[in-house]
Each structure stands twice: as C-alpha cells, then as structure tokens.
C-alpha cells in the first residue's frame, strides 16, 4: 500500500535542463541588467531597488519546484530562503549592505554544510552535485574538504570585493564572476573523479565529467 502513496522519483515531472538554466541564470541576468540600468540613471538606491529582482527570482524558484516538480530540493530551498530573507531586509531597511553580505552568508552555510556532513559520515556532495556518484570514501572526503574550503574562500572573496570595490564591480564579481569560478573549480576536480570512478566503461568517465560540471552550477541564486 505504501507504494501507492509515495511517488517514485522517476515518476515526478522533470523540467528540461534549459528551463532550469533559465530559472537559475535568468534571475541573475535580470538583476544585473536592472542594477546597471539604475546605475546609469545615477540612482543612489540602485542596489536596493534591484533587490526586488532577487526576491522575485527566489519566489519563482520555489514556485517551479512546488508546482512543476511537486517538491523542493534542499539546495534550491536554502538559497531561495536566504534570498528572500536578505532581499527582504534590503528593501525593508533600504540598506544595500544586506544584499551584499548575502553571498558571504550563503557560501559560509555551504562550507559548514559540507564539513559537518562529512564529520557525520554523510555524503553532502550529492546534494550539491545532483546525481549520485560512486567513489571510494577517501576520495569523497577529499572532494568534500576541497569544496568546503572553496566555498569559504568565496565567502572571504565576497567580503573583500563588496567592502573595497564599487557596487557595479561587486555585481560583476557576483555574476558572472562567481559562476565562472565555480565552473573552473568543478572542472579542476574532474580528473580526480574520473581516476577513481568504477572501471566499467568509457561512460563512467563521461559521467564523472558531467557530475563535476553539475557541481559548477551556482546554488540556484548564486544571488
């Protein structure tokens, strides 16, 4: 009877990958264009006003997960909630510091999530990378530590950039800067993954490369 009440993962509606990319990056592009346009208009509240886009993108991500896929994966949920909280605080207090410190908080959460998950003997990388992958435990621990340190480094970099550079410079660091860094770092881990994948056939190596690339996708709102 329990099989009738629980929908198998394979039976859940799946969105085409390009739709996910539009949702993930469309909000970032719209936010960046809005910020640049307001900045060209010499609006002193450009960062604050553009925060409406962040709030909207966060709500859209939650809505798509609930309506189309009938679920919300943990990572999009966390990033959407953080986006709503800090976007809301920015608008409520009319203070752009909230939205600028948001990536620092998000990347710090991701780093702590990986470290604490590894200490508990779990495999937190599955949440970040999407598809399950089969690697020896020592390799998983190595990858987890590397990703945790990388996210901590991103948090420190975000603090350095927004505190020392202009809002526009920080915006370009946030996107596409962080997305490029994530992709480059994830691809740099592909050789380690391919080296230790189960030796079945060439598709294993291709899977490792695609899984590494999957990890490059910024947490839904790299916002």
pLDDT band at 131 (very low <50, low <70, confident <90, very high): low
Residue 221 belongs to some domain of the structure: no
User: How big, in percent rounded to 5, are the helix, strand and coil portions of the chain?
Assistant: 75, 0, 25
pLDDT on residue 220: 45
Q: Say how far apart CA 169 and CA 8 lie, in whole Å.
A: 45
Q: Give the lowest-confidence range in 21-30, 173-182, 185-194, 196-205.
A: 196-205
3-state secondary structure 68-136: CCCCCCHHHHHHHHHHHHHHHHHHHHCCCHHHHHHHHHHHHHHHHHHHHHHHCCCCCHHHHHCCCCCCC
Q: How many domains does the chain have?
A: 1
Rounded to an integer, the average pLDDT of 148-154 is: 96
Q: Which residue has the higher pLDDT, 18 or 106?
A: 106
Tell me if 133 sits within 8 A of 193, measured CB to CB: yes
Does residue 42 lie within any of the structural domains?
Answer: yes
27-31, 53-57, 169-173 — most confident range: 169-173
Per-residue pLDDT, 203: 47
Residue 153 maps to a domain: yes
Distance CA 4, CA 2 (A): 5
Contacts of 171 (CB under 8 A, 6+ apart): 32, 35, 36
Q: Is residue 196 part of a domain?
A: yes
193 in any annotated domain: yes
- From residue 190, how far is each of 65, 139, 164, 185, 219 by CA, in Å? 29, 12, 34, 9, 19
Q: Is the pLDDT of residue 96 over 60?
A: yes
pLDDT given for residue 129 in this prediction: 67
Instruction: Find the domain containing 146 and state its range.
Output: 12-214
Q: How confident is the model at residue 4 (pLDDT cuts 50, 70, 90)?
A: very low
Is the residue at 4 inside a domain?
Answer: no
Confidence band of 47 (pLDDT split at 50, 70, 90): very high
pLDDT winner (highest mean) among 58-72, 125-139, 168-182: 168-182
């Amino acid at each position: 009877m329990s099989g009738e009440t629980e929908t198998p993962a394979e039976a859940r509606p799946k969105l085409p990958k390009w739709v996910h990319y539009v949702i993930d990056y469309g909000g970032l592009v719209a936010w960046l264009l809005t910020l640049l346009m307001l900045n060209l208009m010499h609006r002193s509240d450009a960062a604050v006003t553009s925060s409406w886009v962040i709030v909207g993108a966060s709500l859209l991500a939650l809505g798509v997960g609930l309506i189309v896929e009938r679920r919300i994966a943990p990572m999009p949920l966390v990033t959407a909630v953080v986006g709503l909280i800090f976007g809301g605080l920015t608008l409520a207090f009319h203070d752009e510091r909230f939205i600028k410190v948001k990536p620092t908080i998000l990347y710090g959460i991701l780093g702590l999530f990986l470290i604490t998950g590894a200490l508990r003997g779990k495999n937190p990388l599955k949440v970040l990378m999407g598809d399950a992958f089969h690697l020896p435990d020592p390799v998983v621990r190595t990858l987890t530590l590397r990703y945790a340190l990388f996210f901590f480094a991103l948090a420190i970099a975000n603090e350095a950039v927004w505190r020392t550079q202009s809002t526009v410079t920080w915006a370009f660091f946030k996107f596409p800067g962080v997305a490029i860094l994530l992709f480059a770092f994830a691809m740099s881990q592909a050789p380690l993954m391919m080296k230790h994948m189960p030796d079945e056939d060439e598709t294993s190596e291709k899977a490792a490369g695609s899984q590494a690339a999957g990890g490059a996708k910024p947490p839904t709102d790299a916002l």
